[in-house]
Structure 1
Amino acid sequence: MKIATFNINGIGARLPRLLEWLEESRPDVACLQELKAPDERFPEREIAAAGYNAIWHGQKSWNGVAILARGMDLHETRRGLPNDPDPAHSRYIEAAVGGIIVGGLYLPNGNPIPGPKFDYKLAWFEALLAHAGTLFATEAPVVLAGDWNVIPTESTDDVYSARRMGGDALMQPESRACFARLRHAGWTDAVRAIHPAGPVYTFWDYTMNAWPRDAGFRIDHLMLSPAAADRLIDAGVDREARAKEKASDHAPTWIKLR
């Protein structure tokens, strides 16, 4: 089973790129973030024509998450986090599909720092950690996939320049500490399990000539419970998607499970 995460950065504007990627990469399950569209504007017909069932949690102009499944039924298990500090934001959706629980998430960016947006980021992360603990206790195979808006380390394996990103919410010690707590609780960072060293960037800003310079960083992650991690056989990033015209600033990131 191939499971991917893709911050599409506006499903209306990027729908041709999304459909193109679905045809080329053919993930079995795809978690999407930043739909930037209310529920009624989700392109259900086009997604179905591409062979995918879908559930989504939209929001006008901002946020929005979805899970797509190719030729499989999706059984929604949760919409929004328990104890979400601001449930008006559409940032989490969860489904049972193919014998796996998949949680699709869009963690708050948190900029500028310090301030209420960063406080909200940390509060949302705490709610996610609590829910992750509940999922972990089931001993089921679980994949938490999405745009985590966290650069895990200061290494060039994860960020082109820790100095340049040092003042960003994505690299603050508090953000990285929350991500580390998830790993220490027994969740596996799937991409790093397959690629333990070397840059595996998933995001390149539209400004500063970032893509041609490969000035990227890693913020799109798939975290696996032990039952899912035992089945992990491959992981990667579809970098070529970022190079296309009118592309998202993120590249799809994926894993394969037995």
Structure 2
Amino acid sequence: MASIVENQASPVTRIAPPNDDIRATVDQTEKMVARAPLIILAVLVGLPVVASLISLHIGSAIFGGVIMFIIAGFAIKLVNALIITPLKTARYKRAASTLAGQVQSVSEPVSFWRSWWSGAPGALAVTKLGHVVIVDRSTNYAQLWLGKSQIVNVSVEREATQVTNTKHGGRMTFGGVSNGLFGGYAMGGRSKSVTQTLETAFLEIRYQLEPNGYVSTVVIPYGSDRRAADELCAVVTRIEHTA
């Protein structure tokens, strides 16, 4: 059973040991995501190019390297779509579910909780006695209990991405032989562009464990649900210690 360790220099409570298994899962997954493209490039591009250079086939090395680089690009996208992304999502969702169970079963009654897996897994709870419980990457997956005095700033940020889809329409032409006897499709007709703005919201909670100490930040993704992010922002901003 995890022991509770009190830090006398600040009112924060740590539960030790941290989630070593979840931290290891996140570290391993991030390494897998970073190394997979490099391995594919090394196998599909590096080995053939090196083999051609050893054989002194410089032209083949250059031409083959370009062709294999293009093929490797498609291979990387395919591996990411079919293997890397599904595996990462499954691992992070499982970790987020574990963390959600932890923050819901803390020693104080919980009035609100949330877990997330996008980016990296994490969880947060607000207790009825006025503590914010955080366990995520910023806490190295140890559980932190924060009081109102330790919360430096709470804000809702957003990222807006504009996506433009353009549809081109040709025009049919009729006339003599030189202008298209049977009619033809001519480029340069009308085009219609539709731009959509995709907004992603996330909540940032900055906290300080001791006076004049380092400020850390927990980032909670909310996707397109800006209202939910605003609501949690208001909850944490107005939190009061009632014990």
- The normalised TM-score by structure 2 is 0.21
Q: Max radius of gyration: which structure?
A: 2
Q: Judging by fraction of residues, say which structure has more helix.
A: 2
Q: Judging by fraction of residues, say which structure has more strand.
A: 2
- The normalised TM-score by structure 1 is 0.20
Which has the bigger relative contact order, CA under 8 A and spacing at least 6?
1
